Amino acid sequence: MSRTIDDVVSPTQTNTIPADISGQMLDLDEDDDFEVFSKDSTLADGSMFNASMQTSPGSMVNQCKFEEDEDGDSKDIFITVDNPESHVTAIETFITYRVLTKTTRSEFDNSEYEVRRRYQDFHWLKGKLEEAHSTLIVHPLPEKFVVKGMVERFNGDFIETRRKALHKFLNRIADHPILSCSEDFKVFLSAQAWELTTYKKQGPGFLSRMGETVRAVANSVRGVKNRPEEFTAIQEYVEDFSNKISSLDKVTQRIVKEQKEYLEELKEYGPTYTLWSGSEEELAEQLKGVAGCIERCCQETEEQVGHLSDTLVPVLHEYVLCAETLKAVLRRRDNIQAEFEAKNEALATKKVDRDAESSDLGFVWGSLLGKNPEEARHQRQERLDGEIEELKVEIDKLEDRVEWANNALKGDWVRWQRSMRGDLKSAFLSTAEKNVDYYEKCLAVWETFLLSQRTEPSEETDRDNTS
């Protein structure tokens, strides 16, 4: 599917071009008109657009298209997250990570940026992206809090795991054709700390965000009536996938636990052979040999467990979070459709109203005000006609919005499935490879020992002959 986002937006809309249009120019292949949308409220009318609609088609740059085939060769932005550092203030202690960006994209002023960000900042970015692109699939962040096991927040492993996840998070966004063009993303990567703080404070006010939430809740309560089959199918899949991936996550963590306990016992096992060798003469060498083998196997086991923890566990955990993201995306899509459906119903009701023969109440009012009934009815008709026209315009916009949301989701769904398959396949492959490697190394250890034993019997028979 190759469509530019701008096609979805109503082509009849023309607006003044705001002064700051950096990052918001659309490259048009079909239409001559410039269609620009900005974040400020010149267009904004709560009932026509909500904040998310404003920025989603707007934050487009150059070649942002939904394309099935993404080739790594065209990667023009490289991000690393590293170098965690602890910061202590009077109020709190927190960790910041260095975010290093190298890019050739023109909307960036420089080609290299180095900033420090804390978890809060990543969380903010995710929120903004989801707000602006409610039906796109944003890769999950590592969790805010770690409950199980009461892991120390400042424990080395925890920080490293988080760092890797944050790295992946940013890179997934960078790979995304639409999300990577987001202004918020650009600011996140390039702004200095204080600049970011100022920038964060912008945006739709509290009240409009409130209204947003209320409407969203209302829509989710109402529910969607005619959900297209394909989204129901996706939802069912996501349910099942969520269950399966959670199970796999738990199973893998259990394996790690069992393996660690096995390692603990194994560490005590080798020394018993060494102890025994102290009491023996003929057998001493052999016993020490066995002890050595067990010890080396311990080392291999330790490595294997480490690999499992570093490679498979984080990926499975990520996809547990992904499943939740997917559920949220589907919900938001449903809400958009629900809103559209609601307005449609309102229209139908209004039409019925207008076409009604008479209205006793209106007649009464009209007569009270000294108007004659004919005039009153005519005025009422006109008023209703006006309202119906307004509704129709709104509905058109909402319909477009639904269509855009659906297409965005469909495109991203295909993308997501592909990366899910890739990620999980490579994680399991890596695990299997490591396990083969582990057994091969242990095999070598014992085979070497066995080889050394098979040469000894000849010494023994020599002794027998001489005795």
Partner 1 sequence: MRQQHTTQEDMMADSGPKEVAVIGNTDLTSAELDNNIKNTMVEIEKGTSLLRKMEISVAEAEKRTGKNTVNMQEIYTVYLIETRPVDALTEGITPDSLWRRYSEFELLRNYLLVTYPFVVVAPLPEKRAEIVWHKLSADNMDPDFVERRRVGLENFLLRVASHPVLCNDNIFYIFLTEEKDWKEMVYETGFQAKADSRLKAVNAAFRVKNPDGRFTELKHYSDELQTVLSQLLRVRARVADRLYGVYKVHGNYGRVFSEWSAIEKEMGDGLQSAGHHMDAYAASVDDILEEEEHYADQLKEYLFYTDALRAVCRKHELTQFELEMVALDLACKKQQKEELVTGTVRTFSLKGMTSKLFGQETAEQREAKLQVLEQQLEEGEEAVKEKNTESDEFVKTAWVDIERFKDQKDRDLKEALISYAVMQISMCKKGIQVWTNAKECFNKM
Applying CB under 8 A, which residues contact partner 1? 237, 240-241, 244-245, 247-248, 251, 254-255, 258-259, 261-262, 264-266, 268-269, 272-273, 275-276, 278-279, 282-283, 286-287, 290, 293, 297, 421, 424-425, 428-429, 432-433, 435-436, 438-440, 442-443, 446-447, 449-450, 453, 457, 460-461, 464
What is the C-alpha R_g of the chain?
32
Q: Which is nearer to partner 1, 202 or 461 (CB)?
A: 461
Minimum CB–partner distance for residue 301 and partner 1 (Å): 10
Q: How far is the CB of 143 from partner 1 (least distance, A)?
A: 22
User: Between vectors from CA 305 to CA 159 and to CA 447, what angle results, nearest 5°?
Assistant: 150
Q: Are 38 and 21 in contact (CB under 8 A)?
A: yes
Residue 236 or 324: the one with the smaller Cβ distance to partner 1 is 236
Query: What order do you get walking across the sheet with 77-88 strand by strand?
Result: 77-88, 93-103, 112-118
**In this structure, what DSSP letter does residue 442 have?**
H
Round to whole Å and give the CA distance between 238 and 327: 7
Asked if 341 contacts 218 with a C-beta cutoff of 8 angstroms, the reply is: no
Q: How far is the CB of 388 from partner 1 (least distance, A)?
A: 46
In the complex, what is the shortest distance from the CB of residue 271 to partner 1, in angstroms, rounded to a whole number? 9
Q: Please say which residue, 75 or 254, places its beta carbon nearer to partner 1.
A: 254
The 3-state DSSP class for residue 407 equals helix
Question: Which of 54, 252 has the CB closer to partner 1?
Answer: 252
Compute the distance between CA of residue 201 and CA of residue 53 in angstroms, rounded to an integer: 20
**Nearest CB to partner 1, comparing residues 124 and 428:** 428
Instruction: Pick the closer one to partner 1 by CB: 87 or 418.
Output: 418
Q: Are 228 and 402 in contact (CB under 8 A)?
A: no
Shorter beta-carbon distance to partner 1: residue 47 or 242: 242
CB of 285 to partner 1, least distance (A): 10
Q: How many CA atoms lie within 13 A of 247 on its CB side?
A: 6
* Distance separating alpha carbons of residues 48 and 329, to the nearest angstrom: 22
In angstroms, what is the minimal distance from the CB of 462 to partner 1? Answer: 10
Cβ of residue 433: shortest distance to partner 1, in angstroms?
Answer: 6
Query: Residue type for 48, please?
Result: M
Element (H, E) at 93: strand 93-103
